[in-house]
Amino acid sequence: MPTTTGMKPGGFCDAHSSAQRAALDAFLPWLEEAVTDIERPADGHPPIGLLDLGSSEGGNAIHAMGRLIRALRKQTEAPIWVFLDDPPTNDFNHLFSNLFPKGDLAFAERAVYAAAVGGSAFCVATTVT
Protein backbone atom coordinates (compact mmCIF):
# COMPACT_ATOMS: atom_id res chain seq x y z
CA MET A 1 0.00 0.00 0.00
CA PRO A 2 1.36 3.49 -0.79
CA THR A 3 2.22 5.32 2.39
CA THR A 4 2.64 8.81 0.92
CA THR A 5 0.31 11.27 -0.72
CA GLY A 6 3.20 13.27 -2.13
CA MET A 7 4.61 16.66 -1.23
CA LYS A 8 2.52 19.82 -1.22
CA PRO A 9 2.27 20.82 -4.92
CA GLY A 10 2.61 24.09 -6.82
CA GLY A 11 6.31 24.77 -6.26
CA PHE A 12 6.26 24.29 -2.51
CA CYS A 13 8.97 21.63 -2.43
CA ASP A 14 11.30 23.53 -4.75
CA ALA A 15 10.84 26.64 -2.63
CA HIS A 16 11.59 24.80 0.61
CA SER A 17 14.45 22.48 -0.22
CA SER A 18 17.51 24.66 0.15
CA ALA A 19 18.81 22.39 2.93
CA GLN A 20 18.59 19.41 0.57
CA ARG A 21 20.37 21.46 -2.12
CA ALA A 22 23.16 22.29 0.31
CA ALA A 23 23.59 18.63 1.24
CA LEU A 24 23.51 17.68 -2.42
CA ASP A 25 26.16 20.21 -3.35
CA ALA A 26 28.37 18.87 -0.57
CA PHE A 27 28.43 15.32 -1.91
CA LEU A 28 27.99 15.86 -5.66
CA PRO A 29 31.77 16.19 -6.17
CA TRP A 30 32.12 12.60 -4.90
CA LEU A 31 29.58 11.40 -7.45
CA GLU A 32 31.24 13.40 -10.22
CA GLU A 33 34.57 11.85 -9.33
CA ALA A 34 33.02 8.37 -9.29
CA VAL A 35 31.45 8.98 -12.69
CA THR A 36 34.70 10.14 -14.26
CA ASP A 37 36.41 7.05 -12.85
CA ILE A 38 34.29 4.66 -14.86
CA GLU A 39 35.88 2.96 -17.81
CA ARG A 40 35.24 4.86 -21.04
CA PRO A 41 32.44 2.93 -22.78
CA ALA A 42 33.12 1.57 -26.26
CA ASP A 43 31.49 3.10 -29.34
CA GLY A 44 27.93 1.89 -29.70
CA HIS A 45 27.59 1.40 -25.96
CA PRO A 46 23.94 1.10 -24.89
CA PRO A 47 22.49 4.16 -23.19
CA ILE A 48 23.68 4.99 -19.69
CA GLY A 49 20.85 5.40 -17.18
CA LEU A 50 20.76 7.88 -14.31
CA LEU A 51 17.95 7.35 -11.83
CA ASP A 52 16.92 9.92 -9.23
CA LEU A 53 14.55 8.59 -6.57
CA GLY A 54 12.19 10.98 -4.79
CA SER A 55 12.61 13.77 -7.37
CA SER A 56 9.56 15.72 -6.17
CA GLU A 57 9.15 18.86 -8.33
CA GLY A 58 12.59 18.36 -9.80
CA GLY A 59 14.53 21.48 -8.87
CA ASN A 60 17.24 19.67 -6.98
CA ALA A 61 17.07 16.47 -9.00
CA ILE A 62 17.60 18.27 -12.31
CA HIS A 63 20.46 20.26 -10.79
CA ALA A 64 22.14 17.02 -9.67
CA MET A 65 21.51 15.16 -12.91
CA GLY A 66 22.91 18.09 -14.90
CA ARG A 67 26.14 17.95 -12.93
CA LEU A 68 26.46 14.20 -13.48
CA ILE A 69 25.67 14.48 -17.18
CA ARG A 70 28.44 17.06 -17.60
CA ALA A 71 30.84 14.76 -15.75
CA LEU A 72 29.81 11.80 -17.89
CA ARG A 73 30.23 13.77 -21.11
CA LYS A 74 33.92 14.15 -20.30
CA GLN A 75 34.14 10.36 -20.57
CA THR A 76 31.66 9.25 -23.17
CA GLU A 77 29.38 10.22 -26.01
CA ALA A 78 27.05 7.31 -25.18
CA PRO A 79 23.38 8.30 -25.00
CA ILE A 80 22.22 9.14 -21.48
CA TRP A 81 18.75 8.53 -20.11
CA VAL A 82 17.67 10.41 -16.99
CA PHE A 83 14.80 8.95 -15.00
CA LEU A 84 13.10 11.11 -12.35
CA ASP A 85 10.94 9.16 -9.96
CA ASP A 86 8.36 10.00 -7.35
CA PRO A 87 5.03 8.41 -6.34
CA PRO A 88 2.10 9.04 -8.73
CA THR A 89 0.62 11.63 -6.37
CA ASN A 90 3.62 13.93 -6.99
CA ASP A 91 3.20 17.28 -8.79
CA PHE A 92 4.58 16.00 -12.10
CA ASN A 93 3.27 19.11 -13.91
CA HIS A 94 5.76 21.16 -11.96
CA LEU A 95 8.49 18.60 -12.54
CA PHE A 96 7.91 18.76 -16.31
CA SER A 97 7.95 22.58 -16.17
CA ASN A 98 11.38 22.35 -14.61
CA LEU A 99 12.50 19.70 -17.05
CA PHE A 100 11.47 21.78 -20.10
CA PRO A 101 11.89 25.35 -18.78
CA LYS A 102 11.64 27.08 -22.16
CA GLY A 103 10.15 24.21 -24.09
CA ASP A 104 13.51 22.50 -24.49
CA LEU A 105 15.01 19.85 -22.28
CA ALA A 106 16.93 21.39 -19.36
CA PHE A 107 19.98 19.28 -20.26
CA ALA A 108 21.69 20.87 -23.26
CA GLU A 109 24.26 18.13 -23.82
CA ARG A 110 24.07 15.88 -26.85
CA ALA A 111 21.98 12.68 -26.81
CA VAL A 112 20.40 13.15 -23.40
CA TYR A 113 16.85 11.96 -22.90
CA ALA A 114 14.58 12.22 -19.88
CA ALA A 115 11.55 10.46 -18.52
CA ALA A 116 9.48 10.80 -15.38
CA VAL A 117 8.42 7.69 -13.54
CA GLY A 118 5.41 7.55 -11.24
CA GLY A 119 6.10 4.81 -8.75
CA SER A 120 7.65 3.92 -5.45
CA ALA A 121 11.43 3.78 -5.28
CA PHE A 122 11.10 0.31 -3.83
CA CYS A 123 9.67 -0.97 -7.14
CA VAL A 124 11.28 1.42 -9.62
CA ALA A 125 14.88 0.88 -8.54
CA THR A 126 14.70 -2.80 -9.39
CA THR A 127 12.80 -2.24 -12.65
CA VAL A 128 14.90 0.54 -14.24
CA THR A 129 18.31 -0.85 -13.34
Ligand X SMILES: C[S@@+](CC[C@H](N)C(=O)[O-])C[C@H]1O[C@@H](n2cnc3c(N)ncnc32)[C@H](O)[C@@H]1O
Binding site for ligand X (CB under 6 A): 4, 6-7, 13, 17, 20, 53-56, 60-61, 85-87, 90, 120-122
d(CA 18, CA 63): 12
Min. distance of Cβ 47 from ligand X in angstroms?
Answer: 22
Min. distance of Cβ 40 from ligand X in angstroms?
Answer: 30
Nearer Cβ to ligand X (30/122): 122
Q: Residue of minimal CB distance from ligand X?
A: 54
Min. distance of Cβ 20 from ligand X in angstroms?
Answer: 3
Cβ count within 10 A of residue 61:
26
* β-sheet bridge partners, residue 83: 51, 115
Nearer Cβ to ligand X (76/83): 83
Min. distance of Cβ 78 from ligand X in angstroms?
Answer: 26
Report which secondary-structure segment, H or E, holds 26: helix 18-37
Nearer Cβ to ligand X (9/79): 9
Report which secondary-structure segment, H or E, holds 20: helix 18-37
* β-sheet bridge partners, residue 81: 49, 113
Q: CB of 43 within 8 A of CB of 75? A: no
